[in-house]
Amino acid sequence: MAKQRAELGPAQWEEVWRNGETRWDLGGVTPALVQFLREHSQRGRVLVPGCGAGHDAYYWAKQGAQVVAVDFAPSALAAAQARYQHANITWATADVTQLAYPGQFDWAWEYTCFCALHPDDRAAYLDAIATALKPGGTYVGMVFSKVPKNAGPPFAVAPATFRELLAARFEVLVFSDPAAHSIKPRRGREIWFQVTRPGEPD
């Protein structure tokens, strides 16, 4: 049985990080992000929700972006800030379903945040991402379409369901199932997507 929403709040994620139960963490930058930024120039402000150990936030900052990295768990942010203390990153402890950054970001990067949330929180999370982006801003990354166990987290999302959730809030530019640049253990189990918030860029 999937965990209840009450069991997936800030206290639970803080305990996960304190206990080192972070098997999803790759220990470095997500290869798909490296590939994406090789092929796409980016400028401006980037939101990294559920940043965890901060590897992807650091890579965005290394490319010259102004990054805001958000996580539930203070221990995760403390470790990330210590590791990447010289990077141009603002670290923030916050509920990713209640982000307070209206229209501030050109990009939002997704990896292991959407799938960590209880399915009942997906709509609020995507609403928060859409609100945080500027008109014309891009939300991009990967989610799990399959997971090796029934009870989450992580929680898989059916491709049709995920596309419907995105299309209700964004213009869908790319939707690849399966993703082309998953790490070997996750090949065939992830969706790559790239969407934009409707409206003209500033």
The model's pLDDT over 51-100, given as tens digits with 9 standing for 90+, comes to: 988 999 999 999 999 999 999 888 889 989 999 999 999 999 999 999 99
Q: What percent of the chain has pLDDT over 90?
A: 69
Axis crossing angle, helix 31-39 with helix 55-62, rounded to the nearest 10:
20
Is residue 20 pLDDT above 70, yes or no? no
**109, 5 Cβ separation under 8 angstroms:** no
- Every domain of the chain and the residues it spans: 5-16+29-196
| Res 1: pLDDT | 41
Strand order in the sheet with 66-71: 89-93, 66-71, 45-49, 105-111, 133-144, 190-196, 171-176
pLDDT tens-digit readout, 46-63: 999 999 889 999 999 999
For the segment 107-128, the average pLDDT, to the nearest whole number, is 95
Residue 151: is its pLDDT beyond 80? no
CATH architecture of 5-16+29-196: 3-Layer(aba) Sandwich (3.40)
Query: How confident is residue 4, by pLDDT bands cut at 50, 70 and 90?
Result: low
